[in-house]
Structure 1
């Protein structure tokens, strides 16, 4: 005979980590599925389960998924770089944007120089009255 727990859903990653029963109204279950235990572990290590629970209860339900994703990203960044976290990543990306903007400006300047030197001039004196747009015979 099968036990009643056989038919129940597995506990969410948070409840499994915290070793508690996962109730149907568990605030963590929609955002920390059982197949993503590291996500909750990282968030718990940085922010604590109690703080995450309070945060999720204080914000609107339609904002919770984004909040959890932000917490998970920040927690992972903090574990990689305890001092700067996401700010370090943002700084690196901002520097890359500035470098790429400088490179783009240099390429645009080169393109302007190229166009001014190598684009042929279609002046009336140099093409003997031929119209380059009509095949050179002067007819429209």
Structure 2
């Protein structure tokens, strides 16, 4: 990828970006904010090493993981990824509770509907206006 600007890593290291630069497809100069946290946390050389000797299918996933973990570590140095996991677990628990509440509400509505149907059948109210008998005519 030998273009005039190179990748974010080569630009940071102030070197010419080689054609076979491992970082160029994943850390372009158009998004330096993606590489900056990875450089701060892991260092440019180690990021390059982490992407070496991987299958082509895994490179994009690994680069995304490196950038994501580094961003979280910069944002929250103490808990980093664990804070994100705790937040996700809390959201899952909240959605689970909401789903249970909806299921209970639906069950109550179904039971009420069945109760109303049983009452209308028991008292003969389900026959409609055609079964209504008019009162006898008085003179």
TM-score of the aligned structures, taking structure 1 as reference length: 0.78
Gap runs ≥5 in structure 2: 132-139
* Aligned residue number for residue 44 of structure 2: 49
Q: 1:8 to 1:106 in 2, by over 3 A?
A: closer
Looking at structure 1, the residues matched to 11 and 96 of structure 2 have their Cα atoms a distance apart, in angstroms, of 48
4+ residue stretches of structure 1 with deviation over 6 A? Answer: none
Q: Deviations 1:11-63 (Å, cap 9, x if unpaired)?
A: 11110011111111111111111111121111111111222111111211221
Shift of 1:128: 6.7
Aligned residue-pair number:
128
CA drift of 1:80 comes to 0.9
Alpha-carbon spacing, 1:104–1:87, altered in 2? closer, same or farther (3 Å): same
Tell me which of 18, 21, 24 is aligned to 1:23: 18
Cα offset, 1:127, TM superposition: 3.7
User: Highest CA radius of gyration, 1 or 2?
Assistant: 2
1:96 aligns with 2:91: yes
User: Are 2:110 and 1:110 aligned?
Assistant: no
Q: Compared with structure 1, are the counterparts of its residues 129 and 44 closer, same or farther at alpha carbon in structure 2 (3 Å cutoff)?
A: closer
C-alpha separation in 1, matches of 2:126 and 2:35: 77
Mapped partners of 2:39, 2:70: distance in 1: 8
Residue 33 of structure 2 corresponds to 38
Structure 1 residues 25 and 114, CA gap change in structure 2 (3 angstroms): same
Distance change in 2, residues 1:125/1:41 (3 Å): closer
Alpha-carbon distance, 1:109 to partner: 1.1
Relative to structure 1, is the Cα distance of residues 21 and 96 closer, same or farther in structure 2, using a 3 angstrom cutoff?
same
